[in-house]
Structure 1
Amino acid sequence: MTATPTDTRTAEHSELDPALYRKLAWRIMPFLALCFVLNWLDRVNISFAHLQFKTDLNISDATFGIIVGVFSIGYLLFEIPSNLLLEKIGAKKTMTRIMVLWGLVTIASAFAQTPTQFYVLRILLGAAEAGFFPGVILYLTYWFPASHRARITSRFIMAIAVCGIVGGPLSTWILSHFSGLAGFSGWQWLFVLTGIPPVLAGIFAWYWLDDKPANARWLTDAEKRQIEQALAAERQQRAPGGHLNFLGALADRKVWCIILAYCLTIMCTGNVVNIWAPSIIRDSGVESLGSLGLYSALPYLVAVVVMFFACRHSDLRKERRWHFALGGLTAALALTLLPSQLDNPLSTLGLLVVLTSGYMVATAIFWTIPTYYLSDTAKAAGLALVNCCGQISSLLTPIMIGAIKTNTGSIAPALYIIAALVAAGTLALLLGVPRRALRDAS
């Protein structure tokens, strides 16, 4: 079909000038990416800390799985309210509150001595962090039209890889070199030293972030108009396929296929990659903390490169579903093969590289789908709902893995179960959200 003049103008207006795109990206993304690195580090540092405190405090893998999982209880309770509050009071106040609180709770975790104390603090950490990730995804929709969103989202998701690259070596270095200092264990210092930076970043966010382009003094009036025109053109293009309100989105089975894909593909894979990978590497025969930290960084180092090119290709081709599916099914394959190689450090590491790459690609591509499919009026609550439902998976998955590992002495049966769930979630989105449903996503 030949584009009409109106269609052509709309398509042109939906694109940001490259210079303006770069200006926005350089102003907004480095700080948000840093915040996400700190966020992810404070969420998953427990995967390294437990290598020490499981012995110091006599905590089993099953109990550790519960400690990891209950984080999601606090997240579930405050996820949607936090995102709705961001929409009402703005990103500046919301991000400052979130980061300062999660930093303080992380520091307090250094003084936990019993499973119950860990349970309470992890629930509080989930409540403090609730709304950060979907809040940032929502915040990006205020600045970047859909045609730029896979690339810009990938730069934010890249923070997971950066955390994985620096987090492992940093965590193991703290565990090794701070143990015994001032009478505290290495794992206690890990919580303290990773809890201070988000408090400082939260204070800085108050001065750095602008709620919307209209509030940004570093943009000219012409630049503000261009951003608004691009976003308005996106809304016009999306109107026939997007949902006008949150309740309308809830009644659509496609939305629930999207949620199912997030719960099964993204969250299940993420639990293995971000929480259990250090234990998997150690159990494969890597005993040195220094080597463990370096080995845990390699999968993320490769994955960030793979994710960058996959997201760039997705934007150029204006295609989301199959790019997401490629990442999800790759992760499922790696999970299927991993149990047979758990006693071989090199093979284990190689499969973790493949697993992490698939996970990162699927995660970055995934978040371009609900941000398109939900209209502006449904987006704040819709994004929070997707992430909130994902926390149910985040609650149950580590508990299941920990229980299976404790009762069988091996993580292998759990990995087979996770592989099946990841494949099912990938197929749910691929089959449940047809291409025509995202025909205007770009």
Structure 2
Amino acid sequence: MSSPDQRTLAPSAQETTLKSAISKAARHLMPMLVILYFVAFLDRTNVGFAEAALRVDRGVSDGAFALGAGIFFIGYALFEVPSNLLLKRFGARFWLARIAITWGIVAAAFAFTTNDTMFTALRFLLGVTEAGLFPGVIMFLSEWFPNKVRVQMFAIFYLAQPFSQMIGAPLSGGLISFGDSLGFARGWQVMFFGEGVLAIVAGIAALFFLTNSPAKAKFLNDSEKSALSDAMALEDHVRTQDGPNGIWRAMANWKVWYFTVIYFALQIAVYGTTFYLPQQVAGLLGKKVGWEVGLVSAIPWLVGLFACYFLGKAAHTLTRRRNWGSLLYIGTGVFILASGWAGANGQPFLGIVFITLAVASFLSVGPITWAYPTAFLTGTAAAAGIGLINSLGNLGGFVAPLMRTGINAAVPTSSGVWGVVSLGVFAFVAAGMVFATKFFKGAKSDELLEQEALAH
């Protein structure tokens, strides 16, 4: 509720206070959230750097690697919605910290992998322990930041992906090279253990840096707490009118399932590319996976970092989100197909360029995609709906490596071009679905967003 002094402020003063609160919240919360997702993305994808070593040292087969890379998302999907509901009950501060600490322990345990079975089991447990981080943060941000700046905050959060690959790729490659020089451990063991410990440290830090709600934020003054709380209360009221109420209605809502399909298509492109990026770059360069391949693999993520931030910041109207979202999905599909063509035709430079553009496209479209469900879901409906979209959508990460490996086995080529081509097709489906939101009936949340855009 607003204080008497707050209610008497002129609209311009109220807006200034709200902007100040948003700015402080972004400075205080976003770095910690980016660090958590940075380490999470690093721990779920660093397996690509250990593929060849695991095959040689522990006899992990190509099939087991593909299954292990994907089975992460089965565990992730099974525990995603329950984890999000528990986050709603216990608060983001405690629950996000718990998630990071437990997945860090499992990530470090990969250093002791001995065979196919252990590798696959640990990948499943990694998914179980990390379940709830991403949708929990999405829900957390939707409770802290108004719709007009939410895509920008999602984009900042998404910067953890390019950071984890831009910094993490050479870090993983460097740890492998360093570990191999020690003599008492394999390089891949040093990489897994060291990066797992990073997650544990990040989880402990989250307990000190995160705050559950604006009303409890010590870094906001009373006027800022009131302004931000009032803005979020208004949006909660609007979302209650637009969307379903309660867990089961959210999980049965057709819009929730609509955006689940879109997110599934996005994850096919993301993980089908990410898991095999080091190998694809190594093939284009004719080099072994190591420091040099790690550095080149960081280039697409560096470009994607800037694209994600600036497009997310600018996508503050409904029309821009729809049009840019459609175009970015089309770009994702086109550039993935083009990277496959370049690899098949011995064009390493063009291959790197197209991979870079594909990464920039799918990174930038992620925050825009999440703006849609968070505009009509709130409360326990948001916990269930966002959890469902992310859990089932992320099954694309399970399907992608198996599909890519299976198609390459069925239609063998030296470049594996048909496996790459299969990834791009889903992005075109997502493009059509995002554009089709133009024909959805008007919603209160859309009207509010357009009013805010006109006011600025």
Give TM-score, length-normalised by structure 2. 0.89
Is residue 2:439 matched to residue 1:434?
yes
Change over 3 Å in CA distance of 1:10–1:222 after alignment to 2: closer
Map of 1:211-250 to 2, 5 A cutoff?
211-250=212-251
Is residue 2:276 matched to residue 1:273?
no
Partner AA of 1:425 in structure 2: A
Alignment match, 2:203:
202
Q: Per the alignment, in what secondary structure is the counterpart of residue 66 of structure 2?
A: helix
8 Å contact kept, 1:15–1:147: no
> What is the CA–CA distance in structure 2 between the aligned matches of 1:60 and 1:125, rounded to whole Å?
20
> What is the CA–CA distance in structure 2 between the aligned matches of 1:213 and 1:278, rounded to whole Å?
42
Superposition deviation, residue 419 in structure 1: 1.3
Partner AA of 1:411 in structure 2: G
Map of 1:418-429 to 2, 5 A cutoff?
418-429=423-434
> What is the CA–CA distance in structure 1 between the aligned matches of 2:338 and 2:17, rounded to whole Å?
44
Map of 1:149-228 to 2, 5 A cutoff?
149-228=150-229
> What is the CA–CA distance in structure 2 between the aligned matches of 1:241 and 1:360, rounded to whole Å?
28
Map of 1:56-135 to 2, 5 A cutoff?
56-135=57-136
Partner AA of 1:121 in structure 2: L
> What is the CA–CA distance in structure 1 between the aligned matches of 2:33 and 2:100, rounded to whole Å?
11
8 Å contact kept, 2:132–2:387: yes
Q: CA deviation digits over 1:35-82, x for unaligned, max 9?
A: 111111011110112132223233343321111011112112211111
Identity between Structure 1 and Structure 2 (%): 29
Partner AA of 2:383 in structure 1: A
Identify the match of residue 387 of structure 1 among 372, 390, 397: 390
Q: Which moves more between the two structures, 240-249 or 115-124? A: 240-249
Is residue 2:404 matched to residue 1:397?
no
> What is the CA–CA distance in structure 1 between the aligned matches of 2:317 and 2:447, rounded to whole Å?
14
> What is the CA–CA distance in structure 1 between the aligned matches of 2:391 and 2:295, rounded to whole Å?
33
Q: Which moves more between the two structures, 231-240 or 285-294? A: 231-240
8 Å contact kept, 2:155–2:308: yes
8 Å contact kept, 1:320–1:365: yes
> What is the CA–CA distance in structure 2 between the aligned matches of 1:54 and 1:244, rounded to whole Å?
49
> What is the CA–CA distance in structure 2 between the aligned matches of 1:428 and 1:196, rounded to whole Å?
40
- Unmatched runs of 5 consecutive residues or more in structure 1: 1-8
> What is the CA–CA distance in structure 2 between the aligned matches of 1:271 and 1:44, rounded to whole Å?
9
Change over 3 Å in CA distance of 1:174–1:215 after alignment to 2: same
> What is the CA–CA distance in structure 2 between the aligned matches of 1:225 and 1:38, rounded to whole Å?
34
> What is the CA–CA distance in structure 1 between the aligned matches of 2:298 and 2:244, rounded to whole Å?
40
> What is the CA–CA distance in structure 1 between the aligned matches of 2:426 and 2:43, rounded to whole Å?
27
Change over 3 Å in CA distance of 1:318–1:22 after alignment to 2: farther
> What is the CA–CA distance in structure 1 between the aligned matches of 2:368 and 2:13, rounded to whole Å?
23
Residues paired across the two proteins, number: 433
Alignment match, 2:54:
53
Superposition deviation, residue 433 in structure 1: 6.1
Superposition deviation, residue 16 in structure 1: 6.3
Give TM-score, length-normalised by structure 1. 0.92
Alignment match, 1:144:
145
> What is the CA–CA distance in structure 2 between the aligned matches of 1:68 and 1:44, rounded to whole Å?
8
Partner AA of 2:312 in structure 1: C
Root-mean-square deviation (Å): 2.2
Q: Which moves more between the two structures, 335-344 or 402-411? A: 402-411
Q: CA deviation digits over 1:195-231, x for unaligned, max 9?
A: 1111111112222222112222222222211111111
> What is the CA–CA distance in structure 1 between the aligned matches of 2:437 and 2:318, rounded to whole Å?
21
Deviating 4+ runs (over 6 angstroms):
9-16
Change over 3 Å in CA distance of 1:76–1:292 after alignment to 2: same
Map of 1:304-315 to 2, 5 A cutoff?
304-315=305-316
8 Å contact kept, 2:339–2:352: no
8 Å contact kept, 2:155–2:367: yes
> What is the CA–CA distance in structure 2 between the aligned matches of 1:386 and 1:225, rounded to whole Å?
32
Alignment match, 1:367:
370
Alignment match, 2:452:
none
> What is the CA–CA distance in structure 1 between the aligned matches of 2:255 and 2:208, rounded to whole Å?
40
Change over 3 Å in CA distance of 1:11–1:397 after alignment to 2: farther
Identify the match of residue 359 of structure 2 among 356, 359, 363: 356
